[in-house]
Copies of this chain bind each other. A is one copy, B any other.
Amino acid sequence: MYADLGEVLPRLGLRRTVPRLLILDILREQATHLSALRLHTLVSSLCETINVSTVYRNVSVMTRRGVLHSIDHAGETLFGLAVAPHHHLICRRCGTLVELPADHLSEAAAAVMACSGFAMDADGQVLSGHCRRCRHA
């Protein structure tokens, strides 16, 4: 279904190591954003010798190289596979994270620019609110 995600590593001058491949696999399987700590728990369940600091170093390096992207939320950083440009909607009640295609905020960006001269990032914004389910509870 997907080409092997690990293939991107050598192209970026990164070695294909067990921790990195596991991190990529898990993020692909979960298809969502995870904190480094949560990622470490999941990685550990597959290979228990892998250290937290290794997970931190790797999500950091893979984010810098564009394989992953990160968002700050509630005092921690969440990581996910870098796919099409998108924003994030996080439910303040249940924590659910929804992705929103980047172009849905382009008029908002124009409005912001007009009002404040501020150039909003075209992707990676994190918006909070309530998901459909929690709105009815």
Contacts and interface: CB of A to CB of B under 8 A. Distances in A.
A127 B104 CA distance: 14
A11 interface: no
A7 interface: no
Contact of A129 (B115, B118, B129): B118
A117 B120 CA distance: 23
Contact of A73 (B72, B127, B128): B72
A32 to B, nearest CB: 15
A89 B135 contact: no
Interface string A36-79: 00000000000000000000000000000000000011110100
Nearest to A125: B127
A5 interface: no
A125 B88 CA distance: 12
Nearest to A126: B126
B89 A118 contact: yes
Contacts of A26: none
**10 smallest beta-carbon distances between A and B, as pairs:** A108-B108, A117-B132, A120-B129, A89-B118, A119-B130, A121-B129, A119-B129, A121-B128, A104-B111, A119-B135
